[in-house]
Amino acid sequence: MSTLPESQDALERYAVIDASAIRHNVGVIADYVRPAKVMAAVKADGYGHGLLAASRAAVDGGADWLGVAHVSEALQLREAGFEIPVLAWLHTHATPFSAAIAGNIDLGVSGWELGPIAEAAEALQAPAHVHLKLDTGLGRNGSPASQWPALFAEAASLQERGVISIEGIFTHLAVADEPDRRETDEQLGLYHEALDLADEFGISPDFRHAANTPAALSRPDSHFDMVRVGVGIYGQSPFADRSSADLGLRPAMELRTSVAHVKRVPAGQGISYGLTHRVDRPTSLGLIPLGYGDGVPRISVDAPVSINGRVYRSVGRVAMDQFVVDLEDEDTNVQVGDPVVLFGGDSGLCAADWGRAAQTINYEIITRIGDRVPRIVVGQSE
């Protein structure tokens, strides 16, 4: 088990992952959506928090299922000893369906996958557990409404033959993070129609699921039998006007490093590639040894960091390995080696602050932190 280093010098840069926060967040959401079950989305390396650490914390917090995009992620969970139900929903022609079926991994089916999955199941002489994915308006994966009758007919036939077991029917919501948008009502209405149609084909699965994190927290009518929550279990708010604290959630990632260099510069000094920023007075600059090679967005402008409890702002372009902050005083007290927090912990800064600076969302900020940044997991259960 990794522990937080006693010395700031122990690691040059690292992300502290608080497993107790993930457990807490899963519990908060589970309490809110009960009696619906909770599927914790741990795709994309647990949204950057580490697949296995995030999965263990989610299970300890009460998650009933784990959800991933790719079968390869699900197989990692099985290899690590996770026996909890797992759903993988994004496939290509190279997806190892046989390994998934052998590993008791549930598979999302949007249409074309049903044939290869059925072939793999017949070869193994074991039924594949599938969840039929329906496009109710998002326009990405999922079967369009015009193909639902054909999909339901084929799936019902395969189920009758014992080749597959239809465990679920699900869809994904496009604008649930904007609660006033009417499209969520339209999608849920279409989903109800799909469920009625499926019933006509004799398909009545145990798990109907539509809600993502924002819908789980704002649309009880979308909970059905299970919700699929991603960013919320990592303590991030999906809403522009509500913070994590407003939702009772605790951010689970803190991104830390230390000041790599401090120097005085005169008025007019240009900073970083392109010289897009020049200081308008004599000041001191601090060099922060994290860059877009570590997942810090190059596009970030005026992004915050906390040094010794005070917030400073980035100036100039983020480079591959570093960026610069204006220390706002020619005679700064900041020194090389002083701790730096980009977001999380007790800094008062959050991933959404960096999202605004980079014209993106908190989801992307936490997920893109790269492998060059070690994850230090704290707060793990016994």
Q: Give catalytic residue positions.
A: 43, 273
User: To which H or E segment does residue 129 belong?
Assistant: strand 128-133
HEC states along 272-303? CHHHCEECCCCEEEEEECCCHHHCCCCCCCCC
If we measure between CA atoms, which residue out of 6, 23, 29 comes closest to residue 381?
A: 23
Partners of residue 339 on adjacent β-strands = 258
For residue 73, what are the CA distances in angstroms to 8, 29, 83, 220, 258? Answer: 33, 24, 14, 30, 33
For residue 106, what are the CA distances in angstroms to 15, 72, 131, 199? Answer: 32, 13, 7, 21
Q: Is residue 5 exposed (0-12), middle (13-18) or buried (19+ Cβ within 10 Å)?
A: middle
The bridge status of strand 253-258 relative to strand 13-18 is antiparallel
The bridge status of strand 128-133 relative to strand 164-170 is parallel
* Cβ-proximal residues to 119 (8 Å cutoff; 6+ apart), any chain: none
Place of tokens 């819908």: 215
Is 140 a known ligand-binding residue? yes
Q: Report the greatest alpha carbon distance in the chain.
A: 79
CA Rg value for the chain: 24
DSSP at 74: H
Is 375 a known ligand-binding residue? no
DSSP at 115: H
Helix orientation angle between 114-124 and 148-160, rounded to the nearest 10 degrees:
10
The amino acid that residue 235 corresponds to is: G
What phi and psi, each to the nearest 5 degrees, are found at residue 147? -105, 0
Q: Is residue 126 exposed (0-12), middle (13-18) or buried (19+ Cβ within 10 Å)?
A: middle
Helix orientation angle between 71-79 and 51-60, rounded to the nearest 10 degrees:
70
Indicate the annotated binding residues for substrate: 140, 320
